[in-house]
Amino acid sequence: MKIEKVTVFGAGKFGARLAFHIAYQNVDVTVYDRDYGLLEEARTRFREFADYYEQNFEASKENVEAALANIAYSMDITEAAGNAHLIIEAVAEDLAAKKNFYRELQKTAPKNAIFVTTSKGLDPEMLARISGRPNKFLTLHFTGNLKEILSIEVISLPNTRKDILNSVVQFSEDIGMEVHVRHLEQQD
């Protein structure tokens, strides 16, 4: 599946940075957060990222304005999930919050949507089970900052389908990331 629509759940510093980078690559992005204040802060960050891209990556005014236009905002989980091909969960590292989030998302996300988490501190196989889509679930770890070339580690879980892994790897390359793939083994 070609990934053309992305939703980033979590509008904190990391979610906003990720959403802008994806939008800059000419991909439609919806940014979701339950907190209106965080969505407003994300709008401010996006403008700062746009200025940074112009000054440091020689991005044209037209390209950064197009990136800003590629971003939609939502406080409604059903609307945000909408017709997303890829749903990136960048929610706080709180197990109860993630459980609630995935339970709610199961009811609203398109059946063909791929789920990824950016979590580093929680068991990814447990999150995959909670998501209800263990065969369409991956973990993404991003490295670097705005001053560096970004790289991404795509972590395939034991139940992740190969076509899902390939779609996410291709998408990551398409948005200019240096991609490293790691396969987790089945845990007993």
State both tokens at 5: 């629509």
Q: Is 41 a residue whose pLDDT tops 60? A: yes
**Contact 22/29 with Cβ under 8 angstroms?**
yes
Confirm if 104 and 79 have CB atoms less than 8 A apart: no
Q: Which residues contact 27 (CB under 8 A, 6 or more apart)?
A: 3, 4, 5, 6, 70, 175
Question: Quick one: pLDDT at residue 13?
Answer: 84
- Nearby residues of 53 by Cβ (< 8 Å), 6 or more positions away: 24, 59, 63, 64, 67
Kindly report, residue by residue over 133-168, the tens digit of the pLDDT.
999 999 998 877 655 657 899 999 999 999 999 999
CB contact burial 148-180 (16+ within 10 A = b; e otherwise): eebebbbbbbebbbeebbebbbebbeebebeee
| 88 three-class SS | strand
**pTM of the predicted structure, to 2 decimals:** 0.93
As a whole number of angstroms, the distance between CA 93 and CA 55 comes to: 33
- Tell me: domain 5-183, CATH 3.90.550.10, correct? no
Q: What is the mean pLDDT of residues 95-100?
A: 92
